[in-house]
Structure 1
Amino acid sequence: METLQNGVVFESICEETLESLYEFFDELVESHPKLKTADVIYADGVLTINLGSTFGTYVINRQSPNRQIWLSSPISGPKRYDYIPRRDGWIYRHDNKFSLHQLLQFEIEKLVQSTVSLSRCAHCGSTSL
C-alpha cells in the first residue's frame, strides 16, 4: 500500500486535514442543540473535541515521526491512520474498513442523532459508507 514519504508534504496535508476538521467541529458545536456544552480546541497539531460528559472527548493528533494521524475516540478507541495519496484520505490499515472521516461521520451521526457530512473537509477521500 502506498504511503506518504515526503515529510514536508506530510506536514502540509496533515495541517490541512486537522484545520478542516477543526472548522467542521467548531461549526457543528455552535449549531447543534445537543452540543451546547461542547468545546473544540486546535493547537500544535492536536485537535481536542470535548463533547461533554454525555458524549465524551475525541482527540485527533499529528504523529510526524510515524507520518500518521492518531485518533482517540470515546466510542471506537484508539486508531492510527496513514495518508494514502491515491485515495486522498486517511486509512486505518488494520481493518481498511473506514477512513478517518468515514468513522468520524458515522460516530458523530450516532451521537447527535442527525445527518452530518465531512465531505467538504480536506483530504477526506470518500465519506460515503
Structure 2
Amino acid sequence: MTSRSFAPLFTSSSLRTYTTMKPSSPEPTYTTSDLSEDDYHTASDASMERMVEYFEDLGDEYEIPGYDVEYQVSSCKKSGVMTLKLGDKGTYVVNKQPPNKQLWLSSPTSGPKRYDFDAQHKIWFYGRDHHSLKYLLDTEITEAIGIEIDVPLDAAK
C-alpha cells in the first residue's frame, strides 16, 4: 500500500482538522492494455478468485455482523459476480464485463466504477482517478469494518 501524507484543508475553532490525502510519491501512470479475450479472462478470473478467497478467509477469521461473500459464475464460465455484504455498512459488487474487458464495481461508499487492466503493472485501475481497485477496496472496507485489510490484487501477489 502506498504511504500517504495528509495536508490540512482548514482547521475550525473546535480543534477539528479536515484533511485530504496527498500521495507522498507520484502515482504511477496506468495504461489500458489491449488484451486478447483469453488474456482478459486469465487476468480477471485470477483477480476474482483471489478476492473471493481473501474475503471468505476474512469472514472466517473475524466476526463481522451481516458479513457474507458470494461468487456466481455464468454457465459459460465467461462472466462472474462477487457480492460482498457488510451488514449495515452496505454491499460491494464486483463483476466481470467481458465485452469491455473490464471489472465493474458497485460501492456503497463511492458508487459505480469501471476498472481497466494494465498488463505492465498487472493492476486494475479506474481511468478517472487512476486509483487501483485494490486501493479502493482496502481503503473503503477497512474504514467500514474497522479492520485493516490487504486485498491481494497487486502485481506482487
Q: Scaled by the length of structure 2, what TM-score is found? A: 0.72
Letter in 2 for 1:81: Y
* Structure 1: 5+ residue stretches without partners: none
**Aligned with residue 115 of structure 1, among 129, 132, 148:** 148
Structure 1 outlier segments of 4+, above 3 Å: none
* Pair 1:14-2:44 in alignment: yes
Corresponding residue for 1:103? 136
Q: Go from structure 1 to structure 2 and tell me whether the alpha carbon gap of 1:2 and 1:51 turns closer, same or farther (over 3 Å shift).
A: closer
Which one has a larger percent strand, Structure 1 or Structure 2?
2
Q: 1:36-51, aligned counterparts within 5 Å?
A: 36-44=65-73, 45-51=80-86
- 1:2: how far off? 3.9
- 1:15: how far off? 0.5
Q: Which moved more, 1:16-25 or 1:106-115?
A: 106-115
What CA deviation, in whole Å up to 9, does each residue of 1:54-74 have, x standing for no partner?
A: 111000000000000000000
Q: Which has the larger radius of gyration?
A: 2
- Between the aligned partners of 2:72 and 2:110, the Cα distance in structure 1 is 23
Letter in 2 for 1:109: T
Which structure is higher in RCO with an 8 Å CA cutoff and minimum separation 6?
1
- Between the aligned partners of 1:42 and 1:80, the Cα distance in structure 2 is 19
- Between the aligned partners of 1:73 and 1:29, the Cα distance in structure 2 is 19
Q: 1:76-87, aligned counterparts within 5 Å?
A: 76-87=110-121
Which one has a larger percent helix, Structure 1 or Structure 2?
1
Percent sequence identity is: 35
Letter in 1 for 2:69: V
Q: CA RMSD in A?
A: 1.7
Name the SS of the counterpart of 1:81 in structure 2: strand
- Between the aligned partners of 1:78 and 1:48, the Cα distance in structure 2 is 14
Give the aligned length: 121
- Between the aligned partners of 1:95 and 1:20, the Cα distance in structure 2 is 24
- Between the aligned partners of 2:44 and 2:126, the Cα distance in structure 1 is 15
Letter in 2 for 1:124: D
Q: Go from structure 1 to structure 2 and tell me whether the alpha carbon gap of 1:2 and 1:37 turns closer, same or farther (over 3 Å shift).
A: closer
Report if aligned partners of 1:81, 1:93 keep a CA contact under 8 Å in 2: yes
